[in-house]
Structure 1
Amino acid sequence: MTTLRALAVSVDPILHVFEQDGGWHWGITVPRAAGGGFKLIAYSEQTFSKEDAARNNGSQVLLGLARAGSNALTHQ
């Protein structure tokens, strides 16, 4: 399962893949508008046994966010 924290993304999101508690996870961030740092907009709730599996799943979500963002721009 994937959890999304925001639907509209105005800057390029970045995929992060990391190992935690014996498994692999991914998170997608965007730079914060004010104050610096990054905002987490999506993450995997599922634990993956291999880094490649987490990266592939996160990449699919990242692609979906990019498509949703470009669709929002063309429908304004």
Structure 2
Amino acid sequence: MNIFDTPCQAAGPRLHVFQQEGGWHWGITIERSTGGGFKVIAYSEHTFPDEDEAQNDGDRALVNLSDLS
């Protein structure tokens, strides 16, 4: 998934899974209230060997984040 290929969704955190430096990572963003763009509010410190593992871990983090609200 690429944040530039997906339509913007108003409100709420969004999960992004991407490949970087030979492994897979995830990041969670929210829309900035002023000036446009996105703000990273959480990310994986662990490098995952495949996209599915990063997606699953990111999904868990997103659920845990919503449970805190």
- On whether the aligned pair clears a TM of 0.5, the verdict is yes
DSSP 3-state at the match of 1:66: helix
Q: CA deviation at 1:42?
A: 0.2
- Structure number, greater radius of gyration: 1
**Cα separation, 2, equivalents of 1:61 and 1:21:** 22
The amino acid across from 2:65 in the alignment is: L
Q: Residue by residue, what CA displacement relative to the aligned partner does 1:33-57 show, whole Å, maximum 9, x if unpaired?
A: 0000000000001000010000000
Structure 1 stretches of 5 or more lacking a match?
A: 1-10, 70-76
Q: Which residue of 2 aligns with 1:54?
A: 54
**Cα separation, 1, equivalents of 2:60 and 2:20:** 21
Q: CA deviation at 1:19?
A: 0.3
**Cα separation, 2, equivalents of 1:17 and 1:65:** 16
Structure 1: 4+ residue segments shifted above 4 A: none
Matched, 1:41 2:18: no
What is the percent sequence identity of the aligned residues?
58
Q: Going by fraction, where is helix more abundant, 1 or 2?
A: 1
The amino acid across from 1:58 in the alignment is: G
For normalisation by structure 1, the TM-score amounts to: 0.76
For normalisation by structure 2, the TM-score amounts to: 0.83
**Cα separation, 2, equivalents of 1:32 and 1:52:** 28
